[in-house]
Amino acid sequence: MTSTDVDESVRFLLTAMPELRIRGGGEGEKARRWVHVGTDDSYLCIEDRGATEKGPHQPYIHPGMNHLGFVVEDAAEVARRLRDAGYKEGSTYLDHPFRHRYYFFDHDDNEYEFVEYLSDNPAEMNQYDS
């Protein structure tokens, strides 16, 4: 993911999910700076490629990223941390019987979904008709 401020992107992710860590980073030929944020099993790569402002992409209209979703153990706690840190909140969906979802935006207006499943049954977790 390209960011206008790598440190701010990392701060957003670590605020939402403090169990993540910076796995590594450096400089590259194309990326001025890159950082891997995640766990031993998965990560997001945040890159500085010199952009200083957002481009013309409009999520859900133009091709490109609409939102990133993360499964978390306590979505309300993630939302509290992000609110307390001053991040802009998007939609909240608490009416589904088997999942709670909160959406937040980082400094570049990238949208993130944090979902907490209230069931271990995949048929209930992935139920899209209610």
Domains of the chain: 1-50 (no CATH), 59-130 (3.10.180.10)
**Residue written as token pair 């400089």:** 27
What residues does 62 pair with on adjacent strands?
none
The pLDDT tens digits of the residues spanning 104-116 come to: 999 999 999 999 9
- Quote the pTM value: 0.85
Instruction: Dump pLDDT digits (tens) for 52-63.
Output: 877 787 777 776
pLDDT given for residue 130 in this prediction = 54
Q: What are phi and psi of 72, to 5 degrees?
A: -130, 160
Mean pLDDT check: name the lowest of 7-21, 61-75, 79-93.
Answer: 61-75
| 112 alpha-carbon distance from chain centroid | 4
Mean of pLDDT values over 100-126: 94
